[in-house]
Amino acid sequence: MKCEQVQEKLSEYLDGHLDRDASGLIESHLASCPHCQAEVRALAEAKRMVAGLPAIEPPPGFSQRVMSRVREEAERPTLVRRLFFPMRNKIPIHALALLLVGGIAVYLYQTRQPVQPVATKSVPAAPELMAKQEQNAPAAPQEKTESFAPSPMEKKLKENTMKDTGRTAEKSGKMEGGAGGIKMATPSPAKVPADYKLSVTTRGQTRRIGQRDGGKIYGTP
Amino acid sequence: MDHEEKNDGEWVRRVQGGETEAFEVLVRRHEKSIFNLLYRWLGDYDEAAETAQEVFLSAYRSIRNFRGDSKFSTWLYRIAVNHAKNRQKGLGASRRRMTPLESADPDGEGGPVARLPDPGPDPVQEAERAETHERVQKWLGSLNADEALLILLHDLQDVGYEEMAQILNIPLGTVKSRLHRARLALKAKLAPYFNSLRTKNEM
């Protein structure tokens, strides 16, 4: 056995990890090789010196300090768990959040609802009504003359319609009175029947209302 | 040892079952070996104490993951090694591992020697011994960290080859060759010291 091969195995030899045959080979080499003897002695010395390091005591109260932190740790999960962990506790939180969001959504929808339908309906209706207005325009002067005597039935209808128109105008006036441009929005119901031009001269939904009524009731078929 | 291992398993199961106080038995049983490994490896008493505390806390946190495939001590050593490695990284430890005892004169205050029990009847001999221990500690600190760890586990803590392979998650062959390489490195540091001792004795 060569020195190199022996020296490779010296740690295992020292630690007792070689089988009897391998150990025997090492020993017979060592017996005749002072160089390898010195090597194994030095390695054994290194091992012995580390093994001879005294055991040091941990700081006093070490385990108590560890345990107090461990106890803290043991408490903490229950707190966290209470808020986030088990499903049975998580669901109410989710449900509450959902209700809250839902509630806000409904509230917002309801407060805006009265404005929205009027605005949305008036926009698509406008061009159509404009067309109707043009169509009816030539006939309008004749219609408007007082000489045209409405039948009792028509008269009643007219009165009702006027009331409706007034009411609607009043309503939209309330809503849009603040907005610029719709100056006519506050006529009294009594004034409306006297001034049919209202249906033509006003803008937005009020004109539409007047126009529709006019078209239906006074327009030529 | 075998009996104690069985016992460890018993206490581990108790902790796993929610008995927090049972963990104290495990701490008391293993604090000394974990602390000493860390102290010798990190080379700093306070650092070792702090790290050891983290090791046990971390062991408690993850004790449910311990399935008993290895000994509890093996599992604990693995946690200790990981924590110490992180600490070494965090502190630029190769320098730190080397320095703490470098400056300490044998009879200086505050060094680890000061924390040792009172010296024996022969103060001169004790002082010499303490000096040797300091030198060994210093040499270990100057080794590659992985090599120093193998030496400490095997020669100081009596951890076997197979268990070291488990702790470090490396093949058995690597344990053997690395430990041998580590001893050769340590031997090289020792040689001048012994030569000087020898000449001193011969004189």
Q: What is the reported pTM?
A: 0.60
* pLDDT surpasses 50 at A15: yes
| Pair A129, A205 in one domain | yes
Q: Do B183 and A12 touch (CB under 8 A)?
A: no
Other residues' Cβ atoms within 10 Å of the Cβ of residue A72: 10
CB B167 within 8 A of CB B159: yes
Choosing from A112, A139, A154, the residue where a domain stops is A112
Q: State the total domains in chain A.
A: 3
* A66-75, A96-105, A202-211, B154-163, range with the lowest pLDDT: A202-211
Calculate the average pLDDT of chain A.
68
Stretch A117-135: mean pLDDT, rounded? 51
Q: Do B53 and A69 touch (CB under 8 A)?
A: yes
| Pair A45, A84 in one domain | no
| Pair A165, A210 in one domain | yes
The angle formed by the CA atoms of residues A3, A5 and A6, to the nearest 5 degrees, is 60
* pLDDT surpasses 50 at A144: no
List, in order of start, the domains of chain B with CATH numbers.
2-202 (1.10.1740.10)
One digit per residue, pLDDT tens: chain B, 203 residues? Answer: 556 665 899 999 999 998 999 999 999 999 999 999 999 999 999 999 999 999 999 999 999 999 888 999 999 999 999 999 998 887 664 544 544 444 444 444 444 555 556 555 688 888 888 988 999 999 999 999 999 999 999 999 999 999 999 999 999 999 999 999 999 999 999 888 777 766 666 65
| Pair A103, A25 in one domain | no
Please give the residue range of the domain that contains residue A82. 62-112
Residue A118 lies in a domain: no
Tally the residues of chain A.
221
CB A184 within 8 A of CB A198: yes
- The answer, yes or no, to whether ipTM is higher than 0.90 is no
Which among B2, B15, B1, B91 has a CA at the least distance from the CA of B59? Answer: B15
Q: Do B57 and A66 touch (CB under 8 A)?
A: yes
Chain B residues closer than 8 Å to A65 by CB:
53
| Pair A85, A20 in one domain | no
Distance from CA of B152 to the nearest CA of A (A): 7
Which among B32, B36, B40, B48 has a CA at the least distance from the CA of B148? Answer: B40
CB A14 within 8 A of CB A44: yes
Residue A56 lies in a domain: no
Residue A129 lies in a domain: yes
Q: Do A11 and B35 touch (CB under 8 A)?
A: no
Q: Do B191 and A17 touch (CB under 8 A)?
A: no
CA B138 from chain centre, in angstroms, equals 14
B41 contact A CB<8A: no
In angstroms, the CA A8 to CA A218 distance is 119
Stretch A164-172: mean pLDDT, rounded? 48
Stretch A66-93: mean pLDDT, rounded? 72
Give the pLDDT of residue B90: 77
Amino acid code (one letter) for A159? E
Of B21, B151, B176, the CB nearest to A12: B176
| Pair A78, A47 in one domain | no
Structure tokens at A204: 């937005």
* pLDDT surpasses 50 at A198: no
